[in-house]
Amino acid sequence: MKKLYIIGAGGHGQVVSDCAKAGGFEIGGFLDDNKDLWGKVVNGIEVLGGIGLVKKLDGIFVVAIGDNFARKKVVERLNLGIKSFATIIHPSAIIGSDVDIGYGTMIVGEVVINTHTKVGNHVIVNTMASLDHHNVVEDYVHVAPGVHTGGSVFIGEGTLLGIGSSIIPGIKIGKWAVIGAGSVVIRDVPDYATVVGNPGKVIKIKGVDL
């Protein structure tokens, strides 16, 4: 197996490094554009240099950046084939039958993903979150710690489900939406909307006057 290089040596990158170690990956190092980190050892792993080193390394990669938009920009900048990205799954995660998990996706400790759920590329499913049966999670989504979805939920590209939020069954959430921490979503959510509260209420939509 090729060595794994983790792009992003911040907090989320360090979590991903723990997941990767637990999953049996050989980690070649961190890559980070913060020059102050170059040559330092973070979480027992050396920061080799900037992201540009990717082109010189014969390995596989994961973009461990928590911000969805920033993660997508880095993936696009790298311009690598999709199979150059590793899928990281902590061994404590429970993955059901007929679950499809994409490349570059990070499944953190104690996650549960139930049967017939599809998780896209470069997704984060964070600590102790659960995705119930027949969910669809598109690329670049971040499912934050302690999130729970019901069955047959759709989550559009780039959306953030904030810490401890809950989504009832059958809900469709559009792309690049933000669901606030602790919110309970009981109605469909349009693209680019921000939802807060219990029950969840749309408080703004990018580019739309409410």
Q: E-assigned strands of 1-99? A: 4-7, 27-31, 41-42, 45-49, 60-63, 88-89, 94-95
Amino acid at 136: V
Which residues does the annotation mark as catalytic? 133
Q: What are the tens digits of pLDDT across the range 172-187?
A: 999 999 999 999 999 9
Buried b (16+ CB within 10 A) or exposed e, 144-169: bbbbbbbbbbbbbbbbbbbbbbbbbe
Question: What does DSSP say about strands 193-196 and 201-205: parallel, antiparallel, or unpaired?
Answer: antiparallel
Do the Cβ atoms of 14 and 43 come closer than 8 Å? Answer: yes
pLDDT, average across residues 1-12: 96
Walk me through the domains of the chain, giving residue ranges and CATH numbers: 4-84 (3.40.50.20), 88-201 (2.160.10.10)
pLDDT, average across residues 131-148: 98
d(Cα 191, Cα 24) in Å, to the nearest integer?
38
Flag whether the pTM goes above 0.95.
yes
Q: What are the tens digits of pLDDT across the range 71-107?
A: 999 999 999 999 999 999 999 999 999 999 999 999 9
Amino acid at 102: G
Q: What are the tens digits of pLDDT across the range 143-168?
A: 999 999 999 999 999 999 999 999 99
